Amino acid sequence: MSTETSKPKRLLVIISHTLTSLVRKGEITPRYYNPGELFDEVHILMTNSDRPNPSDLQETVGRAKLFLHNIPIDRGPFFTTLGYRPRLLRHWADTAVRLARRIAPDLIRCYGNSVNGFLAVEIKRALRVPVVVSLHMNPEEERVIEAPNWKSRFLALMLRSVENATLRDSDIVMPVYESIRGYAERNGAKDIRVVYNVLSPHLRQKESYELHHPVRIISVGRLLRGKNPECLIRAVADIDADLTLVGDGPLLEHLQRIARACGALGKVKFKRSVPNDQLCEMLPKFDIFAAHSAYSGPPKAVLEPLLTGLPVVLNRCDVQPAVELARGEGSWILLVPNTKEGYLQAIKRLAADDELRERLGRSAYAHARQQWAPDKMEATVAGIYDEVMKKSH
């Protein structure tokens, strides 16, 4: 932190998501928006009308002063800019540039790459402030897997030129897993650093691998087409096990019908939402974590149980296997076909072999601590911020 006589260090964070929803879900990570407490002031600019309570977010910036700003974008600019054309969006961006002049930030940070990224590079162009953008998904992959409706596909198409402009003009682009690197490279990013999501510091190591009866299985994730745990539910119907399914989404009612139809309804506990701190407390109490993901990157919901030392069962990705997980197949994670039989055999194997279950869990914990421990990821991000600010002077 700066001394009283020096100019305070200021970070401008620009986001498109709503902070209120993160507070409601309990997904508040200490210093998430101020890693290493590098900054004295953190200004969060939202491209929406969300009005979170600042006191609910203070933990995310540590000891820094927190300021919240809104420059919402609605349907009006979509039509007047002919579908978010960069040249025509600059009139809307002028408001953000004026705000940034008053703030005088040392660095601009974007979480995700949408119209928030466009504001960032416009401010950079005007004020010569460095920009760091993190990518939390591969939009190309998302469009294929989730098969959105025509309106969503059209909006994604219109945003592509804005996304590409941000990737080209950002100083550093940080994909949160290796498989996003190719997307960033193809679209003009120059300096790419893979940095995993900063996970909750409240995750704790599993202490006992003594098996419960019935076997306790937990699965966490949004109930979307690309994360459909239907085969896992069908597998649980044929084994002495209880499955806790944490997550909400458009497939919830469909999955409840599947559980009823296959005889697993009494074995599956559906929880739409669990606060993140409570989930961190729950994870080590289970015997196995199992999930499905069609995405090529390791979801945050899978990294967390690995970091507790839970034995993890995940499907092999049909598209492009996650590099981070494929390397650990059989040594610290079990990868199986996305079929009822694939999950069933893996669960039976882990339940029957105490030595394997414990070895897999302890190896997962050791690997996860080395690769994406929260303190390491926070230090990595802080180091990147420091590097890019020094280069800009």
Reported as a single tens digit per residue, the pLDDT across 227-271 is 999 999 999 999 999 999 999 999 999 999 999 999 999 999 999
Q: What is the DSSP string of 197-239?
A: ----TT-------PPPSSEEEEEES--SGGG--HHHHHHHTTS
From the number of C-beta atoms within 10 Å of its C-beta (0-12, 13-18, 19+), residue 97 rates as middle
Does residue 72 have a cis peptide bond before it, meaning omega lies within 30 degrees of 0?
no
Q: What is the DSSP string of 28-49?
A: --TTTTSGGG--SEEEEEESS-
Contact 295, 141 (CB under 8 A): yes
Mean pLDDT of the chain: 90
Contact 237, 263 (CB under 8 A): yes
Contact 312, 232 (CB under 8 A): no
In three-state secondary structure terms, 251 is coil
| Helix, strand, coil percent content, the chain, rounded in steps of 5 | 50, 15, 35
Q: Which residues, 6 or more positions from 305, have their beta carbon under 8 angstroms from its beta carbon?
A: 218, 220, 283, 289, 312
Where do the domains of the chain lie, and which CATH numbers do they carry?
A: 10-195 (3.40.50.2000), 215-371 (3.40.50.2000)
Q: Which residues, 6 or more positions from 383, have their beta carbon under 8 angstroms from its beta carbon?
A: 36
Rounded CA-CA distance 226/318 in Å is: 11
Contact 88, 352 (CB under 8 A): no
CB half-sphere exposure, 191, CA atoms < 13 A? 11
Q: What is the pLDDT, as a whole number, of residue 139? A: 80
% of the chain residues with pLDDT over 90: 72
Contact 23, 50 (CB under 8 A): no
pLDDT of 281 strictly over 90: yes
In the DSSP assignment, the letter for residue 211 is P
pLDDT of 159 strictly over 70: no
Unique residue bearing structure tokens 């162009």: 125
pLDDT of 140 strictly over 50: yes
pLDDT of 187 strictly over 70: yes
Contact 368, 307 (CB under 8 A): yes
Report pLDDT digits (tens) over 55-103: 999 999 999 999 999 999 865 555 544 455 555 577 788 999 999 999 9
CA torsion, points 346, 347, 349, 353, in degrees to nearest 10? 140
Q: What is the pLDDT, as a whole number, of residue 81? A: 47
In three-state secondary structure terms, 52 is coil
Q: Which residue has the higher pLDDT, 131 or 153?
A: 131
pTM of structure: 0.89
CA angle 270, 272, 275 (to 5 degrees): 120
Amino acid (1-letter code) at residue 37: E
In which band, very low, low, confident or very high, does the pLDDT at 4 lie, cut at 50, 70 and 90? very low
Rounded CA-CA distance 293/142 in Å is: 12
Average pLDDT of the segment spanning 134-150: 75
Rounded CA-CA distance 173/194 in Å is: 8
Rounded CA-CA distance 233/167 in Å is: 40
pLDDT of 321 strictly over 60: no
pLDDT of 147 strictly over 80: no
Handedness of CA 64, 167, 249, 277 (dihedral sign): negative
